[in-house]
Structure 1
C-alpha cells in the first residue's frame, strides 16, 4: 500500500477509536455489540485491517453517532479507491480485471492519457494486447488460460474511440512506440491503427520527440477520467484519487506534457520511424 493510503487508513482507525472512547465503550464491549472478536476492533483502530461499510455503520450506531455514517463511509470508500494491488486484483483473472473497467470507459466523456512505456490500453490492437497480457502473466505469476478472453475484454472498449461520442487526448513518449509487445505482423497492425487514430476528429494523439527540450521529465503513465478521477499505474499496483488538489497536479502535468508533443503529420512521421525499426526486433522466447 502507498504511504498516503496507509496513513489515511490509520487516520480513520484513530477516528473510530476516538468515537468509541468518547462513547465510554471499551474494545471488548464494542466487539460484543458488533458480534466480532475484540482483536478485530484493535486491528481496525490501528489501521491494520479495513473496516467494512457494515462495520462502520454498526460502529457509529453503537457509539451513538449514526449521523456520521455517510461521512465515515465516504472516507472509507476514498481509502479503498487510493490503492489497488495488481497481484490481489488479478486473482480473479485478467479477463475479469479488463471487463470490469469497461463501465468507467463507457461513461467517461473526456479521457486524457499519458503513456511513457507502451501504447495506451484502449488503443492497443489484438496482437499487442495479447503480448501485454502475456507479460502480465509472467510478472505476476498468473495462469495463461484466459489470455484470449482478457484480450477480447480489453478490445471491447476500443469502439468508444472509433465510433463513440467521447473525446480523447493522448500524449505518448516516443519510446512508447518502441515497445514491441508482439511479432512484426502485430506491430504493423498496431502502427496502422495509431496512424488511423491520429486522423479521428474526436482524438488528439501527440508524441513527444526523443530530442525535445523538456519542461517536465518523463514519469509513470496516468489516466484522467473527466477531470475528476485519476488512475496512476505502478509495477505493484495502481493509485486512484478523486481529490481535487491531487487531480490539479495531474492536470497541470498533462498540459505540460501536451505542450511538448507533436501532432498530425509530424506525429505520424515518428510512428513510421518506429515502424522502420521493426526488423531489428525479434520474437520473445
Structure 2
C-alpha cells in the first residue's frame, strides 16, 4: 500500500531525526547536555530528533560538532535540503504563474528515457490537447487565485510535451476509464481531447492502457503520479507537489503501476472505450 504522499516529507524528517539521535547516543551525550552546550532549550533536541522541527544548517553543524561527528555534517545537510524540496505548496510554485512551472520540468522531461504515467483525475499531460490544457489551467488559476498566464502556460506545456514525438523516450500511460468522461471543457474541447488520445495511441513511443470501471480491482485508484526512469516520482496533490527520490518509496509507486497495468485494456479494447466516450458526447 503506497504511503500517503503528503506524509513523505515528514517521514523523511523523522528518518533524519533518527540519524541525529544515533549520532548523539554514539557520542554518549544526553539530550539535556547537548542542549546546554548548544545554548538551546532542551525541547529543541527532542523536536529535532522526532522530526517535528526541521533542522537548519547551523543546527546540524552544531549538533555534529558537539558530538564529535563533524565529518557527517555535509551529508546530513544535503539530506535536509532534499527533504525541503520534497513537499512544495502550489502557492509557492505558482506564485509567478503556471508558465514557469511548466518550464521548470522541461529538463526532466528531456533527460528521462522511460516514463510511467498514471492518471486518475485528468488526461495525461503529454497527450493533452491545447483546448483541454487551457480549460484545466483556467480552473487551477481560478481556484488558487494565482497569476493568469494561461495562454503562455499552454504553449509551455505543449513545448514540454514534444518529447513524446522526439528523441529516445518511451511512455507507458494508464488512465482510469472515468477520466474519459470528466468534463474539463465544453463538448468541442472534450471531443478534440478524446481524438487526441486516439491519435496518441498510434505513436511508436506510447503504450496506452485504460482501466475499465468494470474491471475487478487488484489495486484501488490512487492519486495521479508520474515515474521518471524508476528513479523519481512526482505526485500532484490539491495543495502541493510531492517529489519522491528515496529508492524504497519510488519502488512502491513502480509496484503500484505494475498492479494497475495488470487491470488495463489496450489496443482495440482501449480504442473502444475512447470511441464510446466520443459517442456519449453526441
Alignment TM class, shorter chain as reference: 0.7 to 0.9
Q: Secondary structure at the match of 2:160?
A: coil
Residue by residue over 1:103-139, the C-alpha shift from the partner in whole angstroms, topping out at 9 and shown as x without a partner, is 1111110000111111011211111111111111122
2:153 alignment partner in structure 1: 150
Residue by residue over 1:201-260, the C-alpha shift from the partner in whole angstroms, topping out at 9 and shown as x without a partner, is 111011112212222221211111101111222222233222222222212211111111
The normalised TM-score by structure 1 is: 0.81
2:217 alignment partner in structure 1: 214
Q: Secondary structure at the match of 1:206?
A: strand
More deviation in 253-262 or 9-18?
9-18
Is 1:5–2:9 an aligned residue pair?
Answer: yes
Pick aligned residue for 1:273 from 265, 271, 276: 276
1:184 alignment partner in structure 2: 187
Q: How far off its partner does 1:18 sit?
A: 7.8
1:96/1:20 Cα in 2 relative to 1: closer, same or farther (>3 Å)? Answer: farther
- In structure 2, how many angstroms separate the alpha carbons of the residues matched to 1:120 and 1:53? 39
Where in structure 2 are the equivalents of 1:70-219 lying within 5 Å? Answer: 70-144=74-148, 146-219=149-222
Aligned-pair RMSD on alpha carbons?
A: 3.0
1:99/1:54 Cα in 2 relative to 1: closer, same or farther (>3 Å)? Answer: farther
Tell me, yes or no, if the aligned pair for 2:37 and 2:66 is still in contact at 8 Å: no
Tell me, yes or no, if the aligned pair for 1:95 and 1:151 is still in contact at 8 Å: yes
Q: Secondary structure at the match of 2:122?
A: coil
Structure 1: tracts of 5 or more residues without a match: 32-36, 280-285
Tell me, yes or no, if the aligned pair for 1:23 and 1:64 is still in contact at 8 Å: no
Structure 2: tracts of 5 or more residues without a match: none
1:109/1:141 Cα in 2 relative to 1: closer, same or farther (>3 Å)? Answer: same
Q: How many residues align?
A: 273
1:85/1:26 Cα in 2 relative to 1: closer, same or farther (>3 Å)? Answer: same
Q: Secondary structure at the match of 2:95?
A: helix
Q: How far off its partner does 1:189 sit?
A: 2.2
- In structure 1, how many angstroms separate the alpha carbons of the residues matched to 2:17 and 2:218? 41
Q: Secondary structure at the match of 2:207?
A: strand
The normalised TM-score by structure 2 is: 0.82
Q: How far off its partner does 1:195 sit?
A: 1.0
